[in-house]
Amino acid sequence: MAIAEKEWQTQRPTIRERTKFMLNNDLFSDVKFVAVRKSDSELERKGVIPAHKFVLSIGSPVFEAMFCGELAETRDSIELPDCDYNSLLELFRYMYSDEVNLSGSTVMGVLYLAKKYMVPSLAEKCTKYLQDHLDASNVFSILPFAQRYEEKNLMDRCWKVIDKRTEEAMKSDEFVKIERSLLEEIIARNTLNIEEIELFKAIDRWATKECQRQGLTADGKMKRMIIGEQIVKEIRFPTMELEDIAGVVLCSEILTTEEFCSVEEYFRSASSLNTPVGFSGTKRSGCGGKMLRCCRFSSLNGYRYVFPIDVINVSVDRDVSLHGLCLFGSEDYSFSLDLEIQETISKSVLASKRDQFSSELLHSSLGNYCGFEVLLDIPVGFKKNNIYCIKAKITGPCSVYGSLGVSSVSCSGVSFTFFNSGYPESASSVTFGQFPELLFSV
């Protein structure tokens, strides 16, 4: 705690400096907060922070109600059993000075307190810190917080890391700590970039750790119960190799004898149509990092206002699967997207997606640009020589756009031919506009 020096006010010419000096200072303090924290040995210790009701009340409607409402707090010392000392001190630091010192050990606690005491600008700084430090090693510790506090931009970035770096994320220490409800969300995703056998190993490892936490014997029957039927049925056993089925899946004893025989029969059958009942035989769209990219521009231009609609037509000279596409954006902004993909002759809608996306720095043969990837829930098959229409309504701030586009682009042995859509309102054409990259596999 700071000690008041003589004529301290004269050394601090601004209100901010003088208020900052009062942080964690007994001088003029009219309330104390007792934060409960746990040491490495799990013994509870209490840290006391002197505070000033006026400063807290003008920074938080919750503190205003606590000190000035009808049921105003009259105690001189208030114990907070739901926070640790360092996180509470950082909350107060921000309220006294507009400054905060975030770290990996405090940011979650500070975010919780910022939400609890309704300090949205601090919550925003916390989520920005988490976004900037997000990677495969910590995504499974950050995602549950993002979901709890409904931080959509942070959730989107977490899912993007999980989709792109699935195997690395699932080998992290944090993966085995997640709740089963989150595991159900993960296993249901078609966009995971991981071989199915590695996904199965990760689930088996999670189940083993969960059995240990609950003091249960980690045998096949118990792991099956812990995992749950919904997750087991989402595992795509037919996409594995037979030796992995025999050497890994069988040894885990998670499948029933009937299920294992059904899977084994599938591999021994000459027909691939005999998919075991209840298990998908389709590889995940992100599997193995085999997604290819077709870039149709060679230059970027400055900012423009987003027009009402962007439309482009495209055909291919080989059958491909379209997994998604990239769109231009601008740094640190969110965009609403209404996407639709049609077959032009039949006018049938092959895919649609409506969602909110956060712009980030993307890397391509075009160079680095601000934008966002849009992955389809189910890949769309583009047949040779058919023409398809990609239509996007983007709502958000102005963005960069591509230029010097060409009508024909060859990517990984596939020729993409682009056509103007004929939509008079379209802001995109063959030579400029949106749709910098198409994400596909052969």
Task: Kindly report, residue by residue over 111-160, the tens digit of the pLDDT.
Answer: 999 999 999 999 999 999 998 899 899 999 999 999 999 998 899 889 98
Confidence at residue 402, expressed as pLDDT on a 0 to 100 scale:
85
The per-residue pLDDT of the chain, averaged, comes to 87
Handedness of CA 280, 285, 287, 288 (dihedral sign): positive
Angle at 306 between CA 302 and CA 310, to 5 degrees: 110
Edge to edge, the sheet with strand 349-358 lists 349-358, 334-343, 387-395, 310-316, 414-419, 408-411
**Helix ranges restricted to H, 193-313:** 196-213, 220-227, 229-234, 242-244, 250-252, 257-268
Which pLDDT band, with edges at 50, 70 and 90, does 286 fall under? low
Which pLDDT band, with edges at 50, 70 and 90, does 270 fall under? low
Going by C-alpha positions, the residue among 200, 133, 131, 140 that lies closest to residue 165 is 140
User: In terms of pLDDT, which residue wins out, 209 or 165?
Assistant: 209
**Highest mean pLDDT of the ranges 255-259, 282-286, 301-305, 329-333:** 255-259
Instruction: Determine contact, residues 193/288, Cβ cutoff 8 Å.
Output: yes
What distances in angstroms separate CA 86 from CA 16, 77, 103, 108, 109, one per listed residue?
22, 18, 10, 11, 9
Phi, psi of 361 (to 5 degrees): -80, 120
Residue type, 377: D
Query: Of how many residues is the chain composed?
Result: 442
Cβ-proximal residues to 392 (8 Å cutoff; 6+ apart), any chain: 309, 310, 311, 327, 337, 338, 339, 340, 434, 435
State pTM to two decimals.
0.67
What distances in angstroms separate CA 48 from CA 79, 113, 114, 291, one per listed residue?
9, 16, 19, 55
Confidence at residue 39, expressed as pLDDT on a 0 to 100 scale:
47
Indicate whether 43 pLDDT > 60: no
Does the structural domain 8-132 have CATH classification 1.10.4030.10? no
Which pLDDT band, with edges at 50, 70 and 90, does 31 fall under? very high
- Helix (H) or strand (E) holding 79, with range, is strand 77-80
The two most distant CA atoms of the chain are separated, in Å, by 91
Average pLDDT over residues 183-195: 91
- Helix (H) or strand (E) holding 323, with range, is strand 320-328
- Alpha carbons 213 and 235: distance in angstroms, whole number: 24
Bridge partner residues of 50 (DSSP): 32
Least confident of 8-17, 42-51, 352-361: 42-51
Least confident of 30-34, 70-74, 258-262, 274-278: 274-278
Tokens for 12, please give them.
Answer: 């601090």
- Alpha carbons 368 and 88: distance in angstroms, whole number: 39
- How far apart are the two ends of the chain, measured CA to CA in Å? 65
Task: Tally Cβ neighbours within 10 Å of residue 426.
Answer: 19
- DSSP code string of 7-52: TGGGG--SHHHHHHHTTTB-TT--EEEEEEEE-TT--EEEEEEEE-
Which pLDDT band, with edges at 50, 70 and 90, does 44 fall under? low
In CATH, the number for domain 291-441 is 2.60.120.820
Cβ-proximal residues to 138 (8 Å cutoff; 6+ apart), any chain: 104, 172, 174
- Per the listing, tokens 């060859």 go with 410
Indicate whether 42 pLDDT > 60: no
Confidence at residue 272, expressed as pLDDT on a 0 to 100 scale:
52
Instruction: Determine contact, residues 323/375, Cβ cutoff 8 Å.
Output: yes
Query: Looking at domain 151-268, which CATH architecture does it have?
Result: Alpha Horseshoe (1.25)
| Domain ranges (residues) in the chain | 8-132, 151-268, 291-441
Going by C-alpha positions, the residue among 362, 163, 289, 190 that lies closest to residue 155 is 163
The three-class DSSP label of residue 401 is strand
- Alpha carbons 407 and 416: distance in angstroms, whole number: 8
Angle at 168 between CA 187 and CA 362, to 5 degrees: 95
377-407 pLDDT, tens per residue?
778 888 888 999 999 898 888 888 888 888 8
Instruction: Determine contact, residues 401/434, Cβ cutoff 8 Å.
Output: yes
Tokens for 359, please give them.
Answer: 């712009």
User: In terms of pLDDT, which residue wins out, 183 or 368?
Assistant: 183
Angle at 235 between CA 356 and CA 172, to 5 degrees: 70
Going by C-alpha positions, the residue among 175, 240, 243, 235 that lies closest to residue 210 is 175
Indicate whether 279 pLDDT > 70: yes
Same CATH fold assignment for domains 8-132 and 151-268 = no
Least confident of 25-34, 67-76, 166-175: 67-76
